[in-house]
Amino acid sequence: MSTALVLARRGRRVRVWSREPAERTTSAVAGALWWPYRIDPVEQVGPWSLRSLRRYEEWAARAGRPEETGVRMVEGVHAGTRLAGLGAWAGEVAGLRDADAGLAARLPLIDMPVHLAWLRGELAAAGVAVEERAVTSLREVTAPVVVNCTGLGARELVPDASVRPVRGQLVVVENPGVRTWYTAADEASDATTYFFPQPGGRLLLGGTAQEDAWSLEPDPATAEAIVRRCAAIRPEIAGARVLGHRVGLRPARPAVRVEREVVGPGRIWVHNYGHGGAGVTVAWGCAEEAARLVEGC
């Protein structure tokens, strides 16, 4: 939807086809803290992330905007992370600082159901129709330019066997008073620890990063382990009432693919997929890059 919106605002006639409504996609499951996580190539991810950051900062700063767009700026800590271990992009992020517990920061935290609904409204205002429609091949689409933002679906549609799922499971609990976010991620492990406070008295607890796992069913033992890990950081979480469970499959790839492919006379595909665990983080940077490739057609 971000890519479609950028294109529409640049004067392109755009239609969106989606097999699922937005509220049933991986994006709706995301904890959605802005941060370059499990994504390559590093030299491009930094600029893409910063372009997204500027948009989120703007939306969060406008009076009344967080309730409308779902974007807020929230304080928190990345445990085990230090400024010295980050790329050049970190120098463009205001307020990043080393602290005893890790890297402290004030970053965009997004309520994805609200944000997706807002994006859909922005598309409607721009005259873009969103149609629920499944395709089995990109060649079914007869438009002269097809922008492929199919995430994990690109594995079959392109086809691209390098696209793989990284399963994420979250637990939603009644917030016992936590106001800051926290992450502790070890890329060598499939277990991560994080919690994100969201509006409506909700606290999102995570998580997992299980490669090549396709199940969308919440695992009770995994959920219990997630709560235990989070409660080890904030003990009050242990007694929080469970409101629900979420599972999503991150569309991982060795590197994000944003490139143009000529498939026939007057037929162009622009690919924009493989964003792994940082789709929200690079969304607008990648959308602008994809739009640039469309404009060159």
Q: What does the DSSP assignment read for 206-269?
A: EEE-EET----SPPHHHHHHHHHHHHHHSGGGGGPPEEEEEEEEEEE-SS-EEEEEEEETTEEE
Task: Look up residue 287 and give its two tokens.
Answer: 């959308």
pLDDT at residue 240, as a whole number: 98
How confident is the model over 191-241, as pLDDT tens digits? 999 999 999 999 999 999 999 999 999 999 999 999 999 999 999 999 999
Task: Categorize the per-residue pLDDT at 51 as very low, low, confident or very high, splitting at 50, 70 and 90.
Answer: very high
pTM for the structure as a whole:
0.95
Q: Would you state the pLDDT for residue 186?
A: 77
Contact criterion met (CB below 8 Å) for 1 and 123: yes
Segment 281-297, tens digit of pLDDT: 999 999 999 999 999 87
Query: For residue 43, how far is the Cα from the chain centroid?
Result: 19
Q: Are 64 and 114 in contact (CB under 8 A)?
A: no
Residue 64 above 80 pLDDT?
Answer: no
Query: What mean pLDDT do residues 273-278 have?
Result: 96
Pair 297, 264: CB distance under 8 Å: no
Across the range 10-32, mean pLDDT stands at 94
Give the helix/strand (H/E) hosting 196. strand 191-198
Mean pLDDT score, 147-169: 97
Angle between the 112-125 and 2-9 helix axes, to the nearest 10 degrees?
30
3-state secondary structure 87-129: CHHHHHCCCCEEECCEEEEEEEEECHHHHHHHHHHHHHHCCCE
pLDDT higher than threshold 80 for residue 188? no
What pLDDT, on the 0 to 100 scale, is given for residue 63? 58
Tokens of 19: 């097999």
Q: Measure the CA angle with vertex 30, ends 24 and 34; round to 5°.
A: 140
Predicted confidence band of residue 185 (pLDDT cuts 50, 70, 90):
confident
- If residue 46 lies in a helix (H) or strand (E), which one and from where to where? helix 42-61
Q: Among positive and negative, which fits the CA dihedral 281, 294, 69, 93?
A: positive
Instruction: Copy the structure tokens of residue 150.
Output: 């199919």
Token representation of residue 192: 């991560």
Position 94 pLDDT exceeds 80: yes
Q: Which of 38-47, 60-69, 93-102, 106-115 is the least confident region? A: 60-69
Q: Which of 17-21, 102-106, 136-140, 199-203 has the lowest mean pLDDT?
A: 136-140
Closest CA to 191 of 221, 165, 168, 164: 168
Give the pLDDT score at 119: 96
Nearest CA among 124, 103, 120, 84 for reference residue 35 = 103
